Amino acid sequence: MKTEEVQAEALAVAETIEEKSDVVDDASSPAEDALSSQRRPRWASVWFTLAVLLVASTFATWAYLFFVTRPADNALAPARQQAAVDAAADAAVAILTYKSDTVDADLEAATSRVTGTFGDYYRTFTRDVVAPAAKEKQISTSATVVGKAISEYRADKATVVVFLNQATTTADVTEPTATSTTIRVEVERHGDNWLVSKFDPA
């Protein structure tokens, strides 16, 4: 066989193989396309499901905070305010009540209800002025709360208006002298206790 004939036959075989290869590629392409098209919707479904779950979880969290936690906080608010009001009123009574023969103990007990700059002032003033005068002139005074109301309230601070009646006796005036006073009491929360940080006539 001549060289030209051999080359021609080899070329023909190569062309035949190439044609068959193209046929196989064309035949496999639709299958791959189908597989790819099946994968795309499946992944889209997964992402959609995840998005729905995320939205549902977010809504559930918001609903819990709004309908469960928030009402609980709102329900506690009046109780917390009342605690501040009661503490301010009790402190006002303790600060303004003492007897001449027990003045040191009475004023010392009241110091546990005060704090801050006012607390420092109260301790100094009662020790240096109130207690000596009470002993010398036999001064006794008793305060009674006749009204109390919240004026301002925050989580750790509150302002309370306290209305009191006072009855005072001295060595010279044995019959109680009645007076009425209104005190603006500022309290701060220290742990579970509300302590007086300011004490002014209203």
Summarize pLDDT for 23-41 with one digit per residue, the tens. 444 444 454 454 445 555 5
Q: Poorest-confidence range of 38-52, 101-115, 133-147, 151-165?
A: 38-52
* Nearest CA among 112, 77, 87 for reference residue 194: 87
The residue with greater pLDDT, 137 or 5, is 137
The residue with greater pLDDT, 48 or 188, is 188
Cβ burial of 118 (10 Å; 0-12, 13-18, 19+) is: middle
CB 96 within 8 A of CB 141: yes
The predicted-structure confidence for 145-188, as pLDDT tens digits, reads as follows 999 999 999 989 999 999 999 999 999 999 999 999 999 999 99
The residue with greater pLDDT, 197 or 36, is 197
Residues belonging to the chain: 202
The predicted pLDDT at position 73 comes to 46
Q: Above pLDDT 70, what percent of the chain?
A: 62
Place 52 in a pLDDT band, splitting at 50, 70 and 90: low
Mean pLDDT of the chain: 78
Full 3-state SS string of 88-135: HHHHHHHHHCECCCCHHHHHHHHHHHECHHHHHHHHHHHHHHHHHHHH
Place 202 in a pLDDT band, splitting at 50, 70 and 90: confident
pLDDT at 21 over 80: no
The predicted pLDDT at position 78 comes to 85
Q: Poorest-confidence range of 76-80, 97-101, 177-181?
A: 76-80
CB 199 within 8 A of CB 183: yes
The predicted pLDDT at position 87 comes to 97
Q: What angle do CA 108, 170, 167 make, to 5 degrees?
A: 75
